[in-house]
Structure 1
Amino acid sequence: MRTKEMPDAASREDTARRSNFARAPLLLPALIFAAGCAWGAGSPALFWPSLATVAFWGALWLRNLSAQRSLLFFLGALFFVGVYGASFHRGWRPADDLRHLPQAKFGADCWWEGTIQSVPVEKERAGERTTTAIFAVRRAWLSGSWQSASGRALLEVRAAPVGGLTLSQRLWVRGALRRPGEPRNPGDPDWREILAVRHVAYRLKATWSDIRPLNPGSWLGRQIGMARRWASRLLRTGIESDPEAVALLLGMIYGQTGGLPAKTEEDFRLAGAYHVFAVSGQNVGAFLTVGLALLEAGRVSRWRWGWALFPAVAFYAFFSGGSASVGRAALLSSLVLAAWLIRRPVSLLNLWGACLLLFLALDPLSVQDVSLQLSFGVVLALLLLSGPLSRWMASPFVPDPFIPRSLLPRAARFLERVGGGFALLLGSSLAASIGALPFEIVHFHFVSLVGPIANLLIVPLAELVVTVGTLSLCLGALSSLLGVLLNNANWLFAHALLATVATAARLPAAGIAVGDPWTLLSGTPGLRLLFPATPLGSACLVRRQGKVLLIEAGERGVLLPRIDPIRRFYGWNWLDGAIRREGSSWRIAPRTPWGVEAAFAPMKQFSLTNTLCLQPVAYAFPKRGAVDAGTALLFTGKELPLFVLCLDPPSGVEAPSPRPGTIDLLLALGPAAATPRHRATLQGLWLSLGPSGALLGELDRKGTPRKVRSLGRSAVEVTLEPGRIQFRPYRQPPLSYAADPAQEDKGATSQTPSSPEGSVQ
């Protein structure tokens, strides 16, 4: 007699996984189409080749509809459709003509007429309120006449009254167009690329006195503005005296993060919890939970009448700013409600693919939007990984399946429930962290190590805050007493969340910097000196054999936060030393983790590596008077040219660059330039860096600068290698010079330090 074997857990899980993918036919096409959009967004030159390739793959697909290879041909055609669409929007789509207007557009007396095309967002920093919105230009007053124009600009209005700008409002704005700021340091955001994703090429700054409203805006825009002001008033009721808690509630309920202190925002980033401010599925889920609960309370079937929440979900998406994350969540929720209405099974993977296809079909360039990447990436990781991870972590707490549950002791059942709940939370947190990891590395160069564990407390607290805040909005409108009670309860939850985040952020090694992949692969040959534009002349970062030394010429408390994006870009987590000048003496701090304060001690000599030594010296410019002793640092190293770094020479000295707040770098091009007493004939190069920019000149034997050229106001990196010195302003072509390393047998100072690595004398 043949018996039918029961499938084991592994086979059941494999069968369930195959059925899930079979019920998600849109998942793979969505990923293929997104890959095509990402490739095409890089260059408009791919437009015609991709169009021809689409025709080729489409013909193959149409000729082989019944063959098994038809799916491959279809996916190939879909990939190149994505390339075609993104390259078209990148360069071949009818572009705005703002860039073709005359140079008068950069004058302060220009007037612009247009319409606000996004929900205005109000932010308050240092007591000054700024309102930003996308402004679609229709015509411009230039050089005494109106000219037709089209295009979009980022409108930034200072001191605008609350609710002064609304969606779809027509305005006259006086001000000058400005190009988005270019990055001046490695790791700085490229606002040109960020705004180009939203088809914005210029910024338009104005004050409220420069605004002339032409109409009150559309009905929807007015309702959204009124709803945001109404929500702000209700959420503040009873807790007005605590602006930090109010700002946290406003940011978590509808994304109004402008009032949060910078320190609080940094704590949320370090703790890996900044996602709580991204209005997304968590907020839409809480909103739907309250709505469905109200339907159940009214004895209305949510399966049949859930579609009635469509308008409310759409309005909430606009109300919270209309970002990619809330748009994805609102669309996904609407599709689930529609599936309930027509009684169709719900496959979240298939709905995820449908949402991504719809987003990219409407705007292929949105594939470069960081918000969209994080939103869809995290949700996909949750759908694919949270279940397997949770089951794996809960397996130690699962009792023997052959023992009836009625016979299990209470301790075993309690352990199963607690362990299962903990495994579900940890599995979901790990899955979300894995989904966000590649985007955090590429865009932010930072990974929170405490995030997966800290989110075990942060996520439930955040859900509690959002749910209670939603209830406060719904019930506070009916009873002010209920609103006050709910807001005060939420005040406790908000402070519990702030305390948890602050504790996680203060843990040692809460997060690590992860360098840009291309930077890590390129390596750092020779000796590199990076002068960051924070501004120029405030610091010098020395790199040699994986070691990093900071030479400070500015205030430390201001300097380190400005350098932080640079150190994240390069992946520096330790500072191997910090040097600064106090009066006429030099002081040095030992090796510490980045950002940790250390005591400074007097310095006579410091060996960064076995092949590089720094020491204070007295320096002289021939026929120009001596610079005081201790105002210069002499760098000596194996196979390196001799060079000296001077910080802000005294004002009475006639030096090549007697400007205040500057750093001067003088390099000898040959061995004859160095003497045992460190006096130079200065046949070499001179680099002067200050807030007004960088200057590079050649020095003759008398020390006179000639052929002085400007290197701009961006960061400057100096690379010193055997036989070559290279100056590279950030994102500009380098300038190279030939150089000979100083030789010991010609009377030069020894180029090899005698002290061990990292030693201080």
Structure 2
Amino acid sequence: MSLQRTPLAPPAIAFGAGIAVASVTGPGILLAAWLAAVTIGMGLLAFGRTRGATVVLLAGVAAVGALRGGGAPLPPDHVARLELPSVAQVDGRLAAEPTRWAPDRTRLLIDAAHADGSPVSGRIQVTVYGVPPPLTDGQRIAAPLKLHRATGFRNPGTFDYAAHLAREGIRVVATARAESLTPLDDPSPPWSVRVKRAAIAAMDRALPPASAALLAGLLLGDRTELPRDIDDAFRLAGVYHVLAVSGFNVALLAAAVWALCRLLRLPRRASAAIAIVVVIGFALVVGPSPSVLRAVVMAVLVLAALLLERETSVTNSLALAALAILAVRPGDLFDPGFQLSFAATLGIVVAPLPRGAVLGALGVSTAAQLAVLPVTLAHFNQLSTIGVVANLGVVPLAGAATIVGLVAVSLSFLSETVGVVAFDAVWPVLLALRGVVALAARMPGAVVHLPAPGRIAVQGGVERGAQAVGWDPTAGAPFSWESGCSSSRSESRRGRSCDRPTASCA
């Protein structure tokens, strides 16, 4: 693989690097650097100095990334500017569906409008104790909240929860009693919320509680009702990724819709268009997590290539997905979910996989595990020793449960009786999945706790990742966009620009 076949990799890396250094550079310097890079780069292009222009323009892209990652200052009326900690009567609008993470605890995200009668702005994360009244996304509520600044653990080197909340636009957290919440209106839930609620309700009616919770995790990434022992088993077995909606789910959904449309003898373009609509709708239902956004962007690009009858490059799609996500949500660069999703996908795409079903599956699992190893060590200080092998049994079972589960949920919307029959078919698969995971989790030394890698090790990993896509950071010959694009076009004409079509939505 080379940069001539992946021309979007350099700007994606440069943009991410700019976001990474945004906190140590002022906006005035960055704006000046961007203007200088554009001016010098255009001048070099005018004189035919393509290589030099490429380097300078990439520096300009990095400056744009730093400007985007720097963030805007808090407005004067932001809730973080109040005297905290304090208790205030706050009203606002729910920014997302309530999340119940314990039987008597619910998490709300409120876009504040007033505090003690004064206009305010900003998002507050509220932990509600007790059972709240029925609430939905977009609903206006009021409650007395105990406000305080977001803080994290004070242990050096541990996960910085306050920084994580800040990247989500949350600077203030609060607590409240459920009986003190007052709904101010009663809007109809968005269609995506209604679909998700109906799907979960159908699973709850047709399956035992533990199996229904597991299927909700597989299909929708909803682990709210998943029993603690099952949740811990998936973590210990190193297969927790199947419970987070990602490219695995999106690829299965897109492939199933495509196959169904082709079975109905629909044209290729119509099949691709229908699959795009279904994939985007699925993303709206499950929520915009980094792994979902990455997978959906890549799936839409691949399907759009089919729609337009063009070839596509998986690595180019991955780079474009990173650019698109970071342009809208630059803070995701530091999110473990973003890093794990892109690292695992890149590892699968660039790894030399062996032939054969078993060896190929083992190679995919090994490539993904090795790619995410620095991330898991940096954020979680743990290494799964059984995950590579466990995936050989877990992934096929999870795939089968996902496909049959999607069919069962779809049929339940049409006929509850028919849906129950389909859910009965998926139940043995869920039991087998739980059995394999429990067996792997009981293996001695399934998870080994290790220290986070040092700065030199991280730098070496980044350099190896860059070399994997054809760019040696230590080499003196920069990449030329002109030659890259022309080579990409020539590869497309020969029909060989898709690096690994089967991994397009991994």
**TM (normalized to structure 2)?**
0.84
Aligned AA for 2:423?
A: N
Give 1:466 shift.
Answer: 0.9
Give 1:186 shift.
Answer: 5.2
Distance in 2, matches of 1:22 and 1:120, equals: 47
Is 1:46–1:83's contact at 8 Å kept on the other side of the alignment?
no
Give 1:369 shift.
Answer: 1.4
Aligned AA for 2:147?
A: L
Distance in 1, matches of 2:329 and 2:394, equals: 34
Bigger fraction of residues in strand: 1
Distance in 1, matches of 2:313 and 2:337, equals: 24
Distance in 2, matches of 1:151 and 1:347, equals: 40
Cα deviations across residues 293-347 of structure 1 (Å, max 9, x unaligned)? 3322332124334213444322221211221111221222222222222222121
Q: Which residue of 1 is the match for residue 11 of structure 2?
A: 29
Residues 1:209 and 2:179 are matched in the alignment: yes
Q: Which residue of 2 is the match for residue 134 of structure 1?
A: 109
Residue number among 132, 143, 157 corresponding to 1:173 in the alignment: 143
Is 1:237–1:487's contact at 8 Å kept on the other side of the alignment?
no
Is 1:448–1:512's contact at 8 Å kept on the other side of the alignment?
yes
Aligned AA for 2:119?
A: S
Is 1:175–1:210's contact at 8 Å kept on the other side of the alignment?
no
Partner SS state of residue 64, structure 1: helix
Aligned AA for 1:205?
A: T
**Structure 1: gaps of 5 or more residues:** 1-16, 395-419, 522-761
Give 1:225 shift.
Answer: 2.5
Q: Which residue of 1 is the match for residue 353 of structure 2?
A: 389
Q: Which residue of 2 is the match for residue 60 of structure 1?
A: 40
Residue number among 101, 125, 138 corresponding to 2:82 in the alignment: 101
**Structure 2: gaps of 5 or more residues:** 458-506
Q: Which residue of 2 is the match for residue 497 of structure 1?
A: 433
Q: Which residue of 1 is the match for residue 269 of structure 2?
A: 303
Cα deviations across residues 91-139 of structure 1 (Å, max 9, x unaligned)? 6465862122234x612xx22121222233333x3xx243324211121
Aligned AA for 2:68?
A: G
Is 1:254–1:279's contact at 8 Å kept on the other side of the alignment?
yes
Task: Report 1:43-442 matches (<5 A).
Answer: 43=24, 45-65=25-45, 66-68=48-50, 69-87=52-70, 89=71, 92=73, 94=75, 97-103=78-84, 106-107=86-87, 110-123=88-101, 125=102, 128-141=103-116, 146-160=117-131, 164-185=134-155, 188-217=158-187, 221-239=189-207, 242-385=208-351, 388-390=352-354, 394=355, 420-442=356-378
Q: Which residue of 1 is the match for residue 424 of structure 2?
A: 488
Q: Which residue of 2 is the match for residue 447 of structure 1?
A: 383
Give 1:259 shift.
Answer: 1.6
Q: Which residue of 2 is the match for residue 564 of structure 1?
A: none
Bigger fraction of residues in helix: 2
Give 1:214 shift.
Answer: 2.4
Cα distance, 1:461–1:377 mapped onto 2, change above 3 Å: same
Partner SS state of residue 217, structure 2: helix
Distance in 2, matches of 1:280 and 1:95, equals: 38
**How many residues align structurally?**
454
Distance in 2, matches of 1:180 and 1:189, equals: 14
Is 2:15–2:64's contact at 8 Å kept on the other side of the alignment?
yes
Give 1:290 shift.
Answer: 3.0
Is 1:121–1:321's contact at 8 Å kept on the other side of the alignment?
no
Identity across the alignment (%): 30
Is 1:250–1:257's contact at 8 Å kept on the other side of the alignment?
yes
Aligned AA for 2:305?
A: A
Residues 1:509 and 2:487 are matched in the alignment: no
Aligned AA for 1:152?
A: R
Distance in 2, matches of 1:208 and 1:49, equals: 48
Partner SS state of residue 166, structure 1: coil
Partner SS state of residue 258, structure 1: coil
Higher CA-based Rg: 1
Give the CA RMSD over aligned residues: 2.4
Q: Which residue of 2 is the match for residue 403 of structure 1?
A: none
Cα distance, 1:277–1:106 mapped onto 2, change above 3 Å: same
Is 1:176–1:204's contact at 8 Å kept on the other side of the alignment?
yes
Cα deviations across residues 583-631 of structure 1 (Å, max 9, x unaligned)? xxxxxxxxxxxxxxxxxxxxxxxxxxxxxxxxxxxxxxxxxxxxxxxxx
Distance in 2, matches of 1:318 and 1:467, equals: 19
Give 1:507 shift.
Answer: 1.2
Higher relative contact order (CA 8 A, sep 6+): 2
Distance in 1, matches of 2:261 and 2:144, equals: 50
Give 1:508 shift.
Answer: 1.8
Distance in 1, matches of 2:291 and 2:340, equals: 8
Is 2:405–2:426's contact at 8 Å kept on the other side of the alignment?
yes
Distance in 2, matches of 1:355 and 1:516, equals: 28
Partner SS state of residue 383, structure 2: strand
Distance in 2, matches of 1:481 and 1:289, equals: 26
Is 1:53–1:80's contact at 8 Å kept on the other side of the alignment?
yes
Is 1:461–1:493's contact at 8 Å kept on the other side of the alignment?
yes
Aligned AA for 1:363?
A: R
Give 1:81 shift.
Answer: 1.9
Partner SS state of residue 28, structure 1: helix
Give 1:451 shift.
Answer: 0.8
Aligned AA for 1:428?
A: V
Cα deviations across residues 621-672 of structure 1 (Å, max 9, x unaligned)? xxxxxxxxxxxxxxxxxxxxxxxxxxxxxxxxxxxxxxxxxxxxxxxxxxxx
